[in-house]
Amino acid sequence: MLKIMKSQSIIVFLGPSLDLETARRILPSADFRPPASRGDLEKAVAENPDIICLIDGVFFEQCSVGHREILSALNKGIFVVGASSMGALRASETESFGMVGIGKVFELYKNKIVESDDEVAVTCDPFTNEAITEALVNIRATLEKAVSASILTVDESANLFQIAAEMYYPDRIYDFLIEKAREDDSFDDDHLNIFEKWIAEGNAADIKKEDAIAVLKFISAEIQEESN
């Protein structure tokens, strides 16, 4: 698919969706850069890489990656692929022009199940770039998982999602979500206690991380195939 040479150059814009150590193990030849803001892809295009992978980008605090930057890269014959966060959103918007989208978050945007930028936005630690809040797409997936595991009822899941959706994105953490739910008489306290324990045991979904891993593995596999 990529039709590139073994000596390919790859630029990846990565932030809170996946830790850098894991990313480098999957795709050691890549040039990993911080989350992209407006103009960063334009600068990357000037370097004439074979592949640009957009995973994370800024949303509200700075200007986001522009569609024209992506189209410029595509018009130069650069393979542009996106996943997980800003990459999934932009891939869903520019797929018809040639950008490739990978993963569950991309499919949610592509199928119009999710439309708002807000669903993938998180607040990050300014020093480590790690997420300190939870993306709404992850909460959505976690609540679906909780229903499948009989931790929550369908109605409880829907009501919890509504509470999370109405939160400002920097406030989205599971503890705060459960605390807000306890203020609502429609929730069963026992069910919330079970859900809280289930989350604490590490059962929360992280589809943004899964998709970030998937797109890096996709590039790695395509490179190896083209190199053989």
The 10 Å CB-count burial string (b at 16+, else e) for 111-120 is eeebeebbbb
DSSP 14-38: -STTS-HHHHHHH-TTSEEEPPB-T
Per-residue confidence at 59, pLDDT binned at 50, 70, 90? confident
DSSP 213-225: HHHHHHHHHHHHH
Mean pLDDT of all residues in the chain? 92
Spatial separation of the C-alpha atoms in residues 7 and 198, rounded to whole Å: 46
Predicted confidence (pLDDT) per residue in 62-98, tens digit:
788 989 999 999 999 999 999 999 999 999 999 999 9
Spatial separation of the C-alpha atoms in residues 139 and 177, rounded to whole Å: 10
Percent of the chain with pLDDT over 70: 94
Paired tokens of 44: 């990357």
Examine the pLDDT at 189 and tell me if it is beyond 80: yes
Examine the pLDDT at 168 and tell me if it is beyond 90: yes
Asked whether the beta carbons of 60 and 81 are under 8 A apart, the reply is no
* H or E element at residue 174: helix 174-182
Predicted confidence (pLDDT) per residue in 101-113, tens digit:
999 999 999 999 9
The CA-CA-CA angle for residues 106, 110, 116, to 5°, reads 80
Tell whether domain 10-122+208-227 is in CATH 1.20.120: no
Lowest mean pLDDT among 44-48, 93-97, 124-128: 124-128
Q: pLDDT at position 4, please?
A: 46
Q: pLDDT at position 176, please?
A: 96
Write down the pTM of the prediction: 0.92
